[in-house]
Structure 1
Amino acid sequence: MTDTIKTLSRLGVHIPEILLPGPEAALNKWAVVACDQYTSEREYWKEVEAIAAGTPSTLNIVFPEVYLEDGDGEKRISGINSTMKSYLDQGVLSALDKCFILVDRKTSHAPSRKGLMLALDLECYDYNKGSDALIRATEGTVLDRLPPRIKIRQNAPIELPHIMVLIDDPHKTVIEPLAEKCTQLEKLYDFELMMNGGHIKGYKVSEEADLASVASALDRLAQQDIFRSKYNIDASRALLLFAVGDGNHSLASAKGHWENLKKSLTPGQLENHPARYALVELVNVHDDGLVFEPIHRVLFNVEPQELINEFQAFYQKADRCCSGNTAHTFSYVTDKGEGTVSIANPASNLEVGTLQVFLDSYMKEHPQVKIDYIHGEEVVRKLGSQQGNMGIFLPSMNKTDLFKTVILDGALPRKTFSMGEAEEKRFYLECRRIE
């Protein structure tokens, strides 16, 4: 077992002590979707509140982003931390022996998506542009989104993740062998998720042979010759083993909290402090149940025709055009109907890059314009067709290109892709102590 732990540690992996609700808990009320979903749909979260009322729920220990601008952030954060402590004190959460958890998630769009709950070493993670860390962001990190999230974490006794981290394992050697023997593993949970979230099962992975199998398979993915051959790259490229697919800002907040905390720790505490690690769900990018969906944009308080004119003018300037790239065409919806706009000389290879660079500039010049990032086309049409709004649709990207793109080009423009629709996102379920 010592060799397995050493191998995992070298790869930035930690075997965590996971907390789960006791057998008397109503798990269908306990588990709620990631806090950064349905950020323009208060009615969704009101319905969640009604479902979870009067019973322990992760709704009471997260901060749904739909409420971020309500002006009661301090009160909410205080309540979150207080409720976390009460859930621990009252025995709502119980600790498992050190283990991984094999997750099997059925959604409205996929019959099965496999994952593995484990902890990653934040010392091996860097979200900054140009990072060559073992664990990297796939999309740009918005730094001003981190302080409120770090503030929640700094006094929190536990963490509960909606983070999904990807591995590029085309031969399916890490997670899939565990899934094939799931009937031999202890089942920890098996229930229907609320609000069309699908069904989820979890199995305890604690036998030494199974942990060793995961360590060995990850170690093979991390071998330099295999890494270079897979992507046809030279030795100058640093190894990328884990790519953050969902929840990058949450993982970045965990990193920020750890960087703040470790300034006051002794060398011994640095080595073993629980806040050094973050609980995540590991998913193979080649899993058949993992689908990359585009993330569309909805603008509020905007004059659509003015935006279209400025969009086209923006890329007519010599310092922003690149005649070698194929024209990018975007569909949009407003209260006057649907249409398209084409950019003849885009500077980016990806449509999302072309659009986001312009929107960042446009919104600086038009501070009254607000933006939301939406996963489903139906919601974009609903919101975009309202007066004063505009919805812009984006195409999806090929998920098998993700790792090589990040290795060669660095992090993609933020909100480039979504791993599934909103209801397919990770639901808060497992927890872990961080103090």
Structure 2
Amino acid sequence: MSNSNKALSDLGVHIPKIMIPGSGSDFGSWSVVACDQYTSERSYWKKVEEITSGKPSTLNIIFPEVYLEDSDSESRISKINKNMKKYMEDRVITELENSFILVDRKTSRSKSRKGLMLALDLECYDYTKGSNTLIRATEGTVIERLPPRIKIRQKASIELPHIMVLIDDPDKTVIEPLFSKASDFEKLYDFELMMDGGHIKGYKISDEADISSIANALSRLAQKDVFREKYSLGSDENILLFAVGDGNHSLASAKGHWENVKASLSYEEQQNHPARFALVELVNVHDDGLVFEPIHRVLFNVNADELINAFGKFYSSRSCSGVPSCKSSKTAAGHTFRYITAAGEGSITINNPANNLEVGTLQVFLDCYMKSHPEVKIDYIHGDDVVEKLGSQPGNMGFYLPPMNKTDLFKTVILDGALPRKTFSMGEAEEKRFYLECRKIR
């Protein structure tokens, strides 16, 4: 193992053999948006089906979550696995030598968002509350959501990531320097993404000198004194190098699958088993093209007046205003939530909230409310316009949430642990990662 490979391995980074369609392929039909987007908009996915009909496409090897509650999940998973094998047998996708891929993504709102495709060691990752591993979740993981996702992965021959993992690199030392010499790298793809997804380019990074520069830059970020000085921490804080930005439950599912596989392997077999690693896109939280957007809530089959009254009663001990059932003379700053229903728009304020973030105040209540109202369903929505469209329909209700400052993310996770689930989104739905690269996991 070279020095750079050893350094990367110590940091939980693995140089993968990435699979992509061959040159001359229709990349525009191949690449579709992350499966956890447009989960209340079947019309979007029907349009994707029309665009990709009869063509090799990642749509045929993923499970869009809009269909998760349909009755055909078993047959859909079986078909996905068959399509994966067929794409490999027919050489629709071919394997590159061990390398990273430098990614340049243009979206409707950003000229460039820079990333680096690599694999992370799941032995260095823990999504459970209070974890202090090198790789950590940034939001709470809903354990109940993992089994169906692990089931999809357990017989899959390849993985396709929509996972984006963040580094806190204010001086832009890891990814950005590679773009100054992008013209020297082999270009692997360069095409327009469907459905207003923008444009994407990818370059192969396999030269030892470039690998070494990445390893050295990451190693500097992981130096204990640098880490502790950056966040004004004591000597007992463990280093957080990689924070999961998008695809938290996908990475947690990969971890769960690896733990299942690992149980039947010897120590030696565990060291380089492909299921031990997960392919991700690494992005600098300080990248100018990375925008944090709030994730809103839309409730279905809900009595809005009843919910608003329940919201006030739930927090009455902490005082709230804007709700008839909640009376208080306290004037401390609170969390104000705008909402929309078929009857129009309104707002509710919770004073003296126990949670630091508005999303925590709202989600704690909604989790409790929905336990006693199982008929109410929830979806997590990107974009004010979609909240307005869905929330204003009879029987629905939409809550708007504010954005968070992305530069606060790492210190917040280090000091407070994972944020409430669905706290932020890295861009709007069409800016999410599109499936493109694959990797064997069997």
TM-score band, normalised by the shorter chain?
over 0.9
Contact 1:315/1:345 (<8 A) preserved: no
Provide the secondary structure at the position in 1 that maps to 2:54. coil
1:319 Cα deviation from its structure 2 partner? 11
Output the amino acid matched with 1:88. M
The aligned amino acid for 1:265 is L
Partner SS, residue 355 of structure 1: helix
1:287-327 Cα offsets, whole Å, 9 max, x none, are 00000000000000111111111111111136999x89731
TM-score normalised per structure 1: 0.98
Aligned partner of residue 88 in structure 1, secondary structure: helix
* AA matched with 1:140: G
8 A contact 1:325–1:346 mirrored in 2: no
- Tell me how many residue pairs correspond in the alignment: 434
The CA distance in 1 between the partners of 2:332 and 2:401, in whole Å, is 17
Residue type matched to 2:385 in 1? E
What's the counterpart of residue 4 of structure 1? 4
Q: Per the alignment, in what secondary structure is the counterpart of residue 316 of structure 2?
A: coil
Q: After superposition, what is the alpha-carbon deviation per residue over 1:147-178, rounded to whole angstroms, capped at 9, x for unaligned?
A: 11101111011001000000000000000000
1:202 aligns with 2:209: no
Q: Distance in 2 between matches of 1:166 and 1:404?
A: 13
Alignment partner, residue 64 of structure 1? 64
Q: What's 2:147 paired with?
A: 147
> Could you tell me how far 1:394 is from its partner in structure 2?
0.2
The one-letter code sitting in structure 2 at the alignment partner of 1:300 is F
Render the CA deviation track for 1:211-256: whole Å, top value 9, x for unaligned.
Answer: 0000000000000000000000101111000000000100000000
Matching residue of 2:19: 19
Which secondary structure does the structure 2 equivalent of 1:383 belong to? Answer: helix
Kept after mapping to 2: 8 A contact 1:325/1:347 = no
Q: What is the distance in 2 between the residues matched to 1:7 and 1:276?
A: 18
Opposite residue 433 of structure 1, the aligned amino acid is K
* Counterpart check, 1:30 vs 2:39: no
The Cα of 1:24 is off from its aligned counterpart by 3.1
CA distance in 1, matches of 2:61, 2:331: 50
Contact 1:316 1:345 in 2 (8 A): no
Aligned equivalents of 1:420 and 1:397: distance in 2?
A: 12
2:396 to 389, 394, 412: 389
Is 1:359 matched up with 2:366? yes
Which letter maps to 1:78?
Answer: S
* 1-structure distance, mates of 2:233, 2:24: 53
Aligned to 2:343: 336
Matched, 1:405 2:412: yes
Post-superposition CA distance 1:316-359 (Å, at most 9, x none):
136999x8973110111100111111112211010000000000
Q: Is the 8 A contact 2:19 2:95 kept in 1?
A: yes
Return the alpha-carbon distance in structure 1 between the equivalents of residues 18 and 357 of structure 2: 39
Matched AA of 1:82: K
Q: Does 1:118 align with 2:125?
A: no
Structure 2 residues without counterparts, runs of 5 or longer = 321-327
Alignment gaps of 5+ in structure 1: none
| Partner of residue 301, structure 1 | 301
**Alignment partner, residue 78 of structure 1:** 78
**Matching residue of 1:224:** 224
Task: Please tell me the residue identity of whatever aligns with 1:293.
Answer: E
Q: Is the 8 A contact 1:325 1:348 kept in 2?
A: no
Which amino acid in 2 is paired with 1:185? F
Residue in structure 1 matched with residue 325 of structure 2 by the alignment: none
CA distance in 1, matches of 2:297, 2:120: 31
Letter in 2 for 1:302: V
Alpha-carbon distance in 2 for matches of 1:324, 1:14: 53
Identity %: 71
Aligned counterparts, 1:200-279, within 5 A: 200-279=200-279
Inter-partner Cα distance in structure 2 for 1:150 and 1:159: 12
Please list the CA deviations of residues 41-97 of structure 1 after superposition, one character each: whole Å capped at 9, or x if unmatched: 000000000000001000000000000011111000000001000001111111111
Q: TM-score, normalised by structure 2?
A: 0.97
Given that 1:102 and 1:116 are in contact with CA atoms closer than 8 Å, whether structure 2 keeps it comes out as: yes
* CA–CA separation in structure 1 for the residues paired with 2:331 and 2:97: 56
Cα distance in 2 for residues equivalent to 1:267 and 1:133 = 21
Q: For the structure 1 residues 315 and 9, does the alpha-carbon distance in structure 2 shift closer, same or farther, using more than 3 Å as the test?
A: same
- The AA in structure 2 aligned to 1:45 is W
Amino acid corresponding to residue 421 of structure 1 in structure 2: E
* 8 Å CA contact retained: 2:318, 2:352: no
Tell me if structure 1 keeps the 8 A contact 2:319–2:352: no
* Counterparts of 2:97 and 2:174, CA distance in 1: 21
SS at structure 1 position matched to 2:317: coil
Supply the AA of the counterpart residue of 1:209.
Answer: A
Cα separation, 2, equivalents of 1:132 and 1:230? 17
Which residue pairs with 1:131 in the alignment?
131
Answer yes or no: is the 8 Å Cα contact 1:113–1:290 preserved in 2: yes
1:157-168 superposed matches below 5 A = 157-168=157-168
Contact 1:325–1:349 under 8 Å retained in 2: no
Contact 2:30 2:56 in 1 (8 A): yes
Q: How many angstroms apart in 2 are the aligned matches of 1:339 and 1:272?
A: 55
- Equivalent residue, structure 1, for 2:324: none
